[in-house]
Structure 1
Amino acid sequence: MEDYLEQISGLIAEKGYARVVDIADRLSISQASVTNMVKRLDAEGLVNYERYRGMTLTDRGQEVADYIIRRHDLLTRFLQLFGIDDETIYDDVEGMEHHISSPTMRVFEALMRELETSPEAVKRIRADLKKS
């Protein structure tokens, strides 16, 4: 469900609209699977869906999508600090973001604030990682 909301939000920001075919293309899944999930998201009050016309996010859907995007961005930036390659970051973040709790996310946010203002700490950690 989170991947769908993330894609819908991204498509709306990029193109001004989101359609089933675009979501299916981005997620590399069938249009029928997307349609089923979009109907579910509509029933849960996260999107407004009109068959053959596309969809928009409800206010609640946009809030959830914004949280998902912030979480994805935070985890990506965190791993980038330590020089991990983009492909590994992508794979790891896709796995982590769906299983990480809100309290743990707050820990990552606090760590990021500290690390972004302490480049020397990042250098020490990267040097330590190279040793192991």
Structure 2
Amino acid sequence: MEDDSESMENCAAEADRFSQARNQRSQALLEDYTELIADLIAEHGEARITDIARHMGVAHPTATKAIGRLKREGLATSRPYRGVFLTAEGEAMAVKARERHRIVLELLLAIGVPADAAELDAEGIEHHVSEETLSAFARFIARSS
């Protein structure tokens, strides 16, 4: 019986890890969109769905669906014929995502990863690194500067 109980606990733990991974991927998508929207607004004064789709490398309906989710999550608003804009919460998410990216990128460069690879890898790592690890990265960068 103990084997069955232990097996069930292992399954529950594994299911929890998979659930956390799915949530992280979902959060990463929101972060990527808010960061891009903030960049487009800074550069062009607005973020049009057509531009968002082109920069994300997705079809217009895919971008529209993602923007719908941002709006439901309270991260963005849109105005007819005006584009997409971030709420204060969306802007905060974009700033945090940009800072996470910067720290991961600086760490990768500090340990000798070539710039092109570091940029590409930072884009993936930034969404999956814990706050504790990110803080350790920042401390390492500060010491090696």
Q: Quickly name the TM-score band, shorter chain normalised.
A: 0.7 to 0.9
Aligned length: 116
Structure 1 residue identity aligned to 2:71: D
CA shift, 1:84, in A, is 1.9
**TM-score normalised by the chain length of structure 1:** 0.81
Give the aligned residue type for 2:76: V
The residue aligned with 1:48 is 77
| 8 Å CA contact 2:47, 2:85 repeated in 1 | yes
Partner of 1:100: helix, strand, or coil? coil
Residue 8 of structure 1 aligns with an amino acid whose one-letter code is I
**C-alpha displacement at 1:86, in angstroms?**
2.2
Q: Where in structure 1 are there 5+ consecutive unaligned residues?
A: 117-132
Asked whether 1:106 is paired with 2:138, we answer: no
Deviation at 1:68, TM superposition (A): 0.1
Correspondence for 1:79: 108
Deviations 1:46-93 (A, max 9, x none): 011234421111111111100000111111122122332222112211
Deviations 1:15-55, CA, capped at 9 Å, x for gaps? 11111111111111111111101011011110112344211
- Contact 2:48–2:83 (Cα < 8 Å) also in 1: yes
Hey, what does 1:130 align to over in structure 2? none
Per the normalisation by structure 2, the TM-score is 0.75
Flag structure 2 segments of 5+ consecutive residues without an equivalent.
1-29
Question: Residue 144 of structure 2 aligns with which residue?
Answer: 115
Deviates more, 1:44-53 or 1:58-67: 44-53
Which of the pair is proportionally richer in helix?
Answer: 2
Instruction: Kindly report the root-mean-square deviation, in angstroms, between the aligned alpha carbons of the 2 structures.
Output: 1.3
Q: Residue in 2 aligned with 1:2?
A: 31
Q: Determine what percentage of the aligned residue pairs are the same residue.
A: 35
Say whether 1:22 aligns with 2:51.
yes
